Structure 1
Amino acid sequence: MEKAMRFAKIVRNNWKKSVCGVIALYYGAATVKERYEINLLMRAACKEASKYGDYTLPIDQNPTMVTVILNPVANKRKAKQDYEKYCEPLLHLAGLQVSVIQTASEGNAKEIVETLRGTEAIVVAGGDGTLSETITGLLRRNDHANQFPIGVLPLGRTNTLGNTLFPSGKGVEKVKQLISASMAIIKGNTVWKDAMKIEPIEQNPESPNKPIYAMCSLEWGAFRDAFAKRDRYWMYGSLRDYASFIFNGYKDSLNWRCIADLKFSPPCAGCSNCLKKRPEIKRKWSFFMPSVPQVHDQALVENQACETKTELSFKTTDFRIRTPNVEQVNSDPPGLLITIGKKDYTYKEFVSEGWDRVKQDKISDALQARSVELIPKIPDKETVIEIDKEEYEAKPIRITLLPKVIRVFCARDQ
C-alpha cells in the first residue's frame, strides 16, 4: 500500500511538471510570435516614416519642430520605454526636430506648456492626466497657442481620448495604436475637438484660482471611487477592475451620497453670450497648418435661450459630465452630456453595473448643456471629484463647453 501511494505521488508530481511545462511552452511560443509580429510592424512603419524624411527642404528651413511632453512615470513607468521603443524612432525618421521634456511632478506639464517657446506642435506622451495638464497650460496662454496642433500618444494607464482617436488593445494591438498615433503626427492629419473649462464659482479676490481645462469627463460618486481603488487588487491581474467592485460594493468608504444643486443652460451653436471669434494666425510651417473651415461670424447673433437656466437638486450615487469627444456625439449644437444615476443601489446592482462599465462605459439618456454650475452639498467627510482622472476637492464650480477649440492629430478618415 505504501509503495502504491509513493508511486501515485511520483506520477502526480510528474504530471504537474508536464502541465506546467506545456503552459510555459505555450506562453513562450506566444511571446516569440508576438515579438515577431511587432518587429514586422515596426519595420514597415519605419520604412513608411522614412519616406517623409527623404523630402529635401529648402536650405533656409529647418526640420519642423515638435515638443514632446513625456510623463516618465505614466502606466507604472512603462510610458518612457514604450515611447522610445515605438514612437520616437518614427518621428526622427520622418525628419522632425523632436525636443523631449519630461515632467518632474504632478502639475509640471501645465507649467511647461504655459512658458513653452520655439515649437510648432506639442505631443503628449502619457495618459488622461498628462493630456489635461497640457491642455490647461495651452489654453491659459494669451497668445492663441491653441492653434498649435496636439499629438496624443496613448502611453498612460487611462487613455480616453487616445482610444477614441486610434483603435486600442493589448500586445500587438497596442503597438499598432502607438504606430497609428505617431504616423498621424507625421502625416499632419488634424481634427478640431471640444474642451471644457472648469473654474470655481467662489473666487478669492486676493488670490483668484486659474481655470483648468479637460477634454473628456468629470466624475463623482461610488462608481468612480471603486475604479480608483482597483490597483489595490493587483494580485487579480487583469480581473482587478472587477474585483474592486466585488470588495468595495458594501463599504462606506465609497461616496454613496452625492448631494448637490445643479444649474445648466441649453446647448448653443454660438451667439454673443457664449462665443468668441477664433483669430486667424499665420505661421511659417504650412505642414502643420491645414486650412480651417470658414464659418459665418456668430459673435453678433443674439440667442435669448442661451441665458436661460434650468435648476434642480439631486441626491445620487453616480454623477458624470462628459464632452462629445468621449461619446463621439455629433449633435448640433454641441453640448456637455450630464448623467445623474440612481439614488440607491443594492450590492448586486452595483457590482453588475460596475462590471458592465468595465466592458463598455457608455452613457444614455443624458441631459445636454452648454454651461453647468455644480454646487455640492458637502457632508462631514471629505469628498473628491475626478476631472480627466485627476482628483480635486469638491467645490462649487462652473463647467463650460468650448466647442472645437483644440486641434488634434488624427487618422485621415476622422
Structure 2
Amino acid sequence: MEKIVKFSTTIRNNWKKSGVGACALAYGASVTKEKYDINILMRAACKEAALYGDALISMERNPTVVTVILNPVANKRSAKKDFEKYCEPLLHLAGLQVDVVQTASEGNAKEIVETLKGTEAIIVAGGDGTLSETVTGLLRRNDEANRFPLGVLPLGRTNKLGNSLFPGGSDNVEKVKQLIDASMAVIKGNTEWKDALKIEQITDGEEAPRPIFAMSSIEWGAFRDTMAKKDKYWFTAGLREYATFIFNGYKDSITWNCSGTLNYTPPCAGCANCVQKKPEPKRKWSFFIPSTQAATVDPKEINPECLKSEELCFKTAEFKIETAAEKQEKPSLKIILGKSSYSYAEFVSEGWDRLKNKPEDKEVISARTVELLPQDPGKEVTIEIDKEEFELKPVKVTILPKVVKLFCLQ
C-alpha cells in the first residue's frame, strides 16, 4: 500500500512528465499494434500468392510477363516504397515475371506505353494522373496491345478509380489491405471492361493535337479549384479539406463563372454511326485473357436519334463531365451543372456536405458526345482531367464503351 501511495504522489508531483510519458506509451502501443496487424495481413497474402506461384505451367510457355509503370514521386514520394514493400513481393511469389519501369517526368507514362513491347499485362503503380497517361498511351496504339488488361495499384495522392475498384479506409492497415486486394486481383486474373472518355481538342482548321483519354471525369469550376488548394493548409492536419473551403470561399482567384455553349448528342446503345467494332485479338496466353469477350455491339443500322444534336448555353459555378454508372442500357456521359452562384455560407456548407458524401441536387444531362465551347474568360483557366491539370480549350468528349479491361475483385 505504501508503494502505491508513493507512486501516486510521484505522478501528482510530476504531472507534466507523466502526461507526456502516457501519450508516448499510447502512441507506441498504437504503432506496435498497427505493424502487427499489417504483418498478419501480409503473411496471409504471401501464403495465398505462393499457391499461384507453386502451380504447374506447361513446358511450352514461359512465366507470365507483366510491366509495372511506377510513378516514384506519387503520394509525396512514398509510392515506390509502398510498392516494393506490399505489392512487388506478392507478384513475385505468384510466379509472375515483373518488369518495373519508372516514369521520369510528367507525360512519360504515355511515351512508355506507346512503345512498350514484350508484355502480357500492364500495372499502373501511382495515382489518377499516372493511370490517365497509361490509358492514353494504350488507346493510342493501333496494334493488339491496346487490349492488354490493366492493373491499378492505388498508390497516388488521388485514386478515384482505384478506390472504386478496391475499397479501402484512411488508416494504414486499411490502405495495406487495399494494396493487397489490388495485387491479388492481378494474380487471380479477374477482369472487367470499363468505359473511357476520349477528349479531342477542337481547332479552327489547324492540325489538332492527338487525343487524350480518361477513366473518370473532367472538372471545371469553384469546387475543383478549391480542392486543388487543400495542401496549402497542411497545418490543419486531417481538417485541411474542410479548411480549404473556409479560406477560399470568398476569393476571386477561383473560377466562379463557368460559361459557354454545349453541343451534345443523346446516348445510343450502338449503331453504325457511333460504334466501330474491333476484333478481339487471338492470344496464346490464357492466364489473363478469359474466354468471355468484351461486350460489343454489332452495328447494322443507324439509330436516327444518334444523329440529333442539341445546343445548350450555360453559366454555372461548377461544370463536370464524367462516365455514367456501369449498369446502364445505353453507355453515356453525365454532364453535371451546378448552381450559377453561391453565397459564402452556401459554398462552405455544400463543400462540407460533399466531403461527408451527402447526396447533391444538380442538373444532370446524359449524352454520347459533348462539344464544350467555353466563353473566353479573359484569363488562363485550368480544368482537371482525371485529377491532372490542363488549360481550358474547346474540346469534344466522346464516351468509349467497354474499351479498357481492368483487373478487379470478383
TM, length-normalised to structure 2: 0.94
Equivalent position of 1:120 in the other structure: 120
Q: Structure 1 residues 221 and 356, CA, compared in 2 at 3 Å: closer, same or farther? A: same
Q: Structure 1 residues 373 and 111, CA, compared in 2 at 3 Å: closer, same or farther? A: same
Equivalent position of 2:338 in the other structure: 341
Correspondence 1:251 to 2:251: yes
- Residues in 2 aligned to 1:292 and 1:278: alpha-carbon distance in whole angstroms: 15
- Residues in 2 aligned to 1:375 and 1:200: alpha-carbon distance in whole angstroms: 10
- Residues in 2 aligned to 1:253 and 1:180: alpha-carbon distance in whole angstroms: 41
- Residues in 1 aligned to 2:358 and 2:150: alpha-carbon distance in whole angstroms: 25
Counterpart of 1:355, as a letter, is W
Equivalent position of 1:93 in the other structure: 93
- Residues in 2 aligned to 1:24 and 1:204: alpha-carbon distance in whole angstroms: 67
Query: Tell me, what secondary structure is at the counterpart of 2:299?
Result: coil
Counterpart of 2:127, as a letter, is G
- Contact 1:203–1:209 (CA under 8 A) maintained in structure 2: no
- Residues in 2 aligned to 1:203 and 1:13: alpha-carbon distance in whole angstroms: 80
- Contact 2:294–2:402 (CA under 8 A) maintained in structure 1: no
Q: Structure 1 residues 299 and 400, CA, compared in 2 at 3 Å: closer, same or farther? A: same
- Residues in 2 aligned to 1:13 and 1:106: alpha-carbon distance in whole angstroms: 58
Query: Could you report, residue by residue, the CA deviation over 1:281-310 in whole angstroms, capped at 9, with x for unpaired residues?
Result: 111211111023476753222101011111
Q: Structure 1 residues 296 and 66, CA, compared in 2 at 3 Å: closer, same or farther? A: closer
Correspondence 1:390 to 2:388: yes
Q: Structure 1 residues 296 and 37, CA, compared in 2 at 3 Å: closer, same or farther? A: closer
- Residues in 1 aligned to 2:119 and 2:342: alpha-carbon distance in whole angstroms: 50
Query: Tell me, what secondary structure is at the counterpart of 1:403?
Result: strand
Equivalent position of 2:74 in the other structure: 74
Counterpart of 2:353, as a letter, is D
Equivalent position of 2:107 in the other structure: 107
- Residues in 2 aligned to 1:19 and 1:299: alpha-carbon distance in whole angstroms: 73
- State the superposition RMSD in angstroms: 1.7
Give 1:402-413 correspondences, 5 Å limit: 402-412=400-410
- Post-superposition shift, 1:365? 4.7
- Post-superposition shift, 1:17? 2.8
Give 1:200-279 correspondences, 5 Å limit: 200-202=201-203, 205=206, 207-279=207-279
- Residues in 1 aligned to 2:163 and 2:297: alpha-carbon distance in whole angstroms: 33
Correspondence 1:352 to 2:313: no
Counterpart of 1:111, as a letter, is E
Equivalent position of 2:200 in the other structure: 199
- Residues in 2 aligned to 1:361 and 1:193: alpha-carbon distance in whole angstroms: 26
Q: Structure 1 residues 25 and 102, CA, compared in 2 at 3 Å: closer, same or farther? A: same
Query: Tell me, what secondary structure is at the counterpart of 2:238?
Result: helix
Equivalent position of 2:21 in the other structure: 21
Query: Could you report, residue by residue, the CA deviation over 1:75-131 in whole angstroms, capped at 9, with x for unpaired residues?
Result: 000100000000000000000000000000000000000000000000000000000
Q: Structure 1 residues 252 and 83, CA, compared in 2 at 3 Å: closer, same or farther? A: same
Give 1:55-70 correspondences, 5 Å limit: 55-70=55-70
- Post-superposition shift, 1:167? 1.1
Moved more, 143-152 or 212-221: 143-152
Q: Pick from 375, 378, 381 the counterpart of residue 380 of structure 1.
A: 378
- Residues in 1 aligned to 2:353 and 2:155: alpha-carbon distance in whole angstroms: 24
Q: Structure 1 residues 381 and 372, CA, compared in 2 at 3 Å: closer, same or farther? A: same
- Post-superposition shift, 1:396? 0.5
Q: Structure 1 residues 41 and 383, CA, compared in 2 at 3 Å: closer, same or farther? A: same
- Contact 2:280–2:293 (CA under 8 A) maintained in structure 1: no
Q: Structure 1 residues 203 and 279, CA, compared in 2 at 3 Å: closer, same or farther? A: farther
Equivalent position of 2:298 in the other structure: 298
- Contact 1:91–1:98 (CA under 8 A) maintained in structure 2: yes
Counterpart of 1:67, as a letter, is T
Counterpart of 1:41, as a letter, is L
- Post-superposition shift, 1:14? 3.4
Query: Could you report, residue by residue, the CA deviation over 1:161-196 in whole angstroms, capped at 9, with x for unpaired residues?
Result: 010101111211111100000000000000000000
- Residues in 2 aligned to 1:34 and 1:203: alpha-carbon distance in whole angstroms: 58
Equivalent position of 1:190 in the other structure: 191
Counterpart of 2:15, as a letter, is W
Equivalent position of 2:5 in the other structure: none
Q: Structure 1 residues 329 and 277, CA, compared in 2 at 3 Å: closer, same or farther? A: closer
Equivalent position of 1:5 in the other structure: none
Give 1:317-332 correspondences, 5 Å limit: 317-324=317-324, 328-332=325-329
Query: Tell me, what secondary structure is at the counterpart of 1:313?
Result: strand
- Residues in 2 aligned to 1:236 and 1:296: alpha-carbon distance in whole angstroms: 49
- Residues in 2 aligned to 1:47 and 1:201: alpha-carbon distance in whole angstroms: 53
- Residues in 2 aligned to 1:36 and 1:409: alpha-carbon distance in whole angstroms: 29
- Residues in 1 aligned to 2:162 and 2:190: alpha-carbon distance in whole angstroms: 15
- Contact 2:202–2:208 (CA under 8 A) maintained in structure 1: no
- Residues in 2 aligned to 1:394 and 1:224: alpha-carbon distance in whole angstroms: 13
Counterpart of 1:383, as a letter, is V
- Residues in 2 aligned to 1:58 and 1:291: alpha-carbon distance in whole angstroms: 19
- Residues in 2 aligned to 1:181 and 1:80: alpha-carbon distance in whole angstroms: 16
- Contact 1:317–1:341 (CA under 8 A) maintained in structure 2: yes
Equivalent position of 2:177 in the other structure: 176
- Residues in 1 aligned to 2:183 and 2:270: alpha-carbon distance in whole angstroms: 34
- Contact 1:217–1:321 (CA under 8 A) maintained in structure 2: yes
Tell me the matched-pair count.
399
Counterpart of 1:384, as a letter, is T
Q: Structure 1 residues 294 and 38, CA, compared in 2 at 3 Å: closer, same or farther? A: closer
Q: Structure 1 residues 13 and 156, CA, compared in 2 at 3 Å: closer, same or farther? A: farther
- Unpaired segments ≥5 residues, structure 2: 1-9
- Contact 1:146–1:407 (CA under 8 A) maintained in structure 2: no
Q: Percentage identity across aligned positions?
A: 64
Moved more, 40-49 or 363-372: 363-372
**Which runs of 4 or more aligned residues in structure 1 lie more than 6 Å from their structure 2 counterparts after TM superposition?**
10-13
